Chain A
Amino acid sequence: MRLGSGYIAAAFTKRIPITTPSSQKLRWLLFFALAALALLVRLPQLAQRPMHTDEAVNAYITGQLLAGEAYHYDNVDRHGPALYALAVPLAWLAGAKDLPTLDETTLRLGPVLVGALTVLLFALIVPETGLAAALIAALLWAVAALPVFYSRYFIHETLFSATTFGFLLGGWRWLNTASLAGAALTGLTAALLLAGKETAVLSFAGAAAAVAWWWFERRWLRNEHSGNPAPVFIRWKAVALALGFFLVAVALLFSWGGQNWQALADLFRAGPHTLNRAAGQGHEKPAAYYLQLIGHGWSGRAFLVLTLFGAASVAVDGWRTFRRPPRHPLALRLCLVYALAIGVIYSAIPYKTPWLALNLWLPWSVLAAVGAAALWRSARFVAVRAGLVLGAASVLLATGYDTRQWVFCKLDSEKNPYAYSQPGEDLLRLQEFFSAPPRQDAHIAVIGADAWPLPWYLRHCPRVGYWQPGQDPGQADYYITLPDAAEQLQPKLPGWRPDLYGVRPGVLLVVWLPPDFQP
């Protein structure tokens, strides 16, 4: 215990971490404790928030795969298979066999576990940031509202963030040590990234900017103070290994273990659709959107201030590289370049959804943690340090409050900045209505251009069909019309009673009750 407190105290007073075996063990213990905390924060009431449309789509695909159907990569509307590769084994373990036997908790458990395990990746940045900064960054990931909220969401983003982290760590190892293992890890994680989302190309662009900076420093800033005397070599063997791992993993993932090779051709043709989507498709938002979202609330503002401080600290230190040895290692300057590049790229693209903010949040959190640790080290007087402790406690309290507020208390509120087009609890009323025994076996016709997330809420009804507006659904016991299809049923249903349900704020659907309907 004495060793533990001394170790942590040393971490906050010295930049270079202690690297004895016992301290290594303690380091991992600390990060495992934070991972456990992350799990504790993410696990409660997983089923409480109604399923979002994107979650419903992912659930439907998972249900198909569980039922034995082949995976088909849809390069127009859907993302890659990584999330399903995670969800299917977990669903098997939970005893699910198809869509009707799936539930919210089982599906959201995957991102929860990945979110908690991501904390351990912060242990690997200790050599670059120091223990204190790595612990602060891990703590932020464990408890801050934005990563916690989307760790409880059955979408690709948390897995994508974890993979991005792995990709950057692998890439750094490759650059730093020119090791084959680093190259292999980079290739593998790059494939996982692409199998997560097509936005992987943005992460690759950010990483390319960082590599460009690395090359610039090595090639042009190399002098007696830079601490980077090694010239730049390209090890073609490592490049071939990275490429090999990338291609094999991409082929295996997208073809779903070799079941559908067509997916690879579809992947090559995904570019135009991804570009189309980037143009907005109804999700256009101003350039400052992510900045505002990440800076939401007191905890968000504190996060941004720390990020700016950390970025300034790394940038100023980098500038001094010309004249004297830098205090911060090269990896942090690369992190700064990546953070800036990703921030600019994502902000410049018109298409914006709040979960994409995680891509900015992750590198920014490292800079924020570096900023916090640098603040502490620069404080020389007891009074200043006492003030900083008070400030840190306040930030932690504000973070805890915001997380409780947005993740648990107002999880589907329209005021929740992270809840985006969030279906309300009224869809649970619809699910309950059609789950009642006399109606469960009824023939239900759903008519609308985009019926999601209804297939999730009606998954227990075996006789439900979906039609586009203008198509004739034929005879049914109940009709459900989305707003764009309500008019077409007018002449068909004399005496039928329309009952309104909320899909999401401001969007309603109509359930048509037959004239002889008895509640």
Chain B
Amino acid sequence: MKQKLTIAAALLLTLTAAVAEDKVALKTELPTPLFVGTPVPIKGIPNLDPAPSGKRADFLVPAGAVNLAKGKKVSASDNEPVMGTLDLITDGDKAGDEGSWVELGPGKQWAQIDLEKESEIFAVLVWHFHSQARAYLGVVVQVSNDPEFKKDVTTVFNNDYSNTHGFGAGKDNPYIESYQGKLIDAKGVKGRYVRLYSAGNTTNKLNHYTEVEVFGKPAA
């Protein structure tokens, strides 16, 4: 029995090593931090994703995975943003200053990125607004091949515990915005469209996007 377990563990290690060989650390350029921690820091809270203070631990993605969202077309539930334009979401500018982000109207809103072809998605990196400690409410990220998001929808992140958007109570943790962005593990889900929902934030009812990066590979 002990021998079998040893063999199984060795096999698992070999397999992991093989898989790891194909994986590389996700690389992205980080903007200048505009604040470090909250003015009165929130710390030590279980189930709350902390705002990273140092460098985030490497997140591995398959070699060849790139930011598929860069320069791609963005649509939104609010076609006339309060401030900025939707193209700011995929323009590569992650600075926290005014002029780098788009402000969608109050309450429930979504923004959607068209990757132009079905892709295998490994990670979604979201910067809502990082010049101040705040959290966005009811954050849900979905992937689908349907631009209307009516069928074949995969939810890769949902911290909408009060079910504001109607996708069911989310189990993911709330988090405080930071210059490092929120990294969401998409686990290789396939789809052409990425849609991000939110329902205001802890400072006001508006919804902001500075940048969204979608790391993946076009599906074969």
Q: Which residues of A contact B (CB under 8 A)?
A: 414, 424-426, 482-484, 486-487, 490, 493-494, 496-502, 505-508, 510, 513, 517, 519
Contact = CB atoms under 8 A, between A and B. Distances in A.
Contact of A490 (B44, B162, B201): B44
Nearest to A495: B47
Contact of A513 (B134, B161, B201): B161
A78 to B, nearest CB: 23
Contacts of B111: none
B10 interface: no
Closest 8 CB pairs of A and B: A502-B202, A487-B44, A519-B162, A483-B40, A500-B135, A498-B48, A483-B42, A506-B39
Interface string B70-83: 00000000000000
A325 to B, nearest CB: 56
B155 to A, nearest CB: 17
A508 B162 CA distance: 19
B39 A519 contact: no
27 contacts: A424-B203, A424-B204, A426-B201, A483-B42, A486-B42, A487-B43, A490-B44, A490-B46, A494-B46, A497-B47, A498-B46, A500-B48, A500-B135, A500-B174, A501-B202, A502-B201, A502-B202, A506-B39, A507-B39, A508-B133, A508-B134, A508-B176, A510-B42, A513-B161, A517-B161, A519-B163, A519-B169
Given A483-B40, A519-B161, A519-B163, A508 B204 contact: no
Contacts of A506: 35, 38-39, 132-134
A425 B176 CA distance: 18
Contact of B202 (A496, A498, A500, A513): A500
A356 to B, nearest CB: 22
Contacts of A508: 38, 42, 133-135, 176, 202
Interface residues of B, number: 28
A505 B44 contact: no
A507 B47 CA distance: 19
Interface string B125-155: 0000000111100000000000000000000
B41 interface: yes
Secondary structure at chain B's binding surface: helix, strand, loop or mixed?
loop
Contacts of B163: 519
B47 to A, nearest CB: 6
A490 B174 CA distance: 16
A414 B129 CA distance: 14
A381 B90 CA distance: 60
Contact of A486 (B44, B173, B202): B44
B45 interface: yes
A497 B161 contact: yes
B185 to A, nearest CB: 20
A505 B132 contact: yes
B182 interface: no
Given A499-B174, A506-B133, A424 B47 contact: no
Contacts of B176: 500, 508
A497 B173 CA distance: 8
Nearest to A494: B46
Given A494-B46, A508-B134, 19 more contacts: A426-B202, A482-B40, A483-B41, A486-B42, A487-B44, A490-B44, A498-B46, A498-B173, A498-B174, A499-B174, A502-B135, A502-B203, A505-B132, A506-B35, A506-B132, A506-B133, A507-B39, A507-B40, A507-B133
A288 to B, nearest CB: 24
Nearest to B40: A483
B165 interface: no
B146 to A, nearest CB: 27
A507 B38 CA distance: 7
B205 interface: yes
B57 to A, nearest CB: 21
Nearest to B35: A506
Contacts of B45: 486-487, 490, 498, 510
Nearest to B133: A506
Among A424, A487, A490, A508: residue with most chain B CB under 10 A: A508
Contacts of B203: 414, 424, 426, 502, 505
Interface in B25-46: 35, 38-46
A502 B134 contact: yes
A97 B135 CA distance: 37
A499 B173 CA distance: 9
Given A506-B133, A519-B161, A519-B169, A486 B38 contact: no
Among A482, A496, A497: residue with most chain B CB under 10 A: A497
A496 B47 contact: yes
A513 B169 CA distance: 13
Contacts of B38: 483, 506-508
Nearest to A500: B135
A411 to B, nearest CB: 12
B204 to A, nearest CB: 6
Nearest to B136: A500
Interface in B172-220: 173-174, 176, 201-205
A513 B30 CA distance: 34
A484 B40 contact: yes
Contacts of A493: 46
A424 B204 CA distance: 6
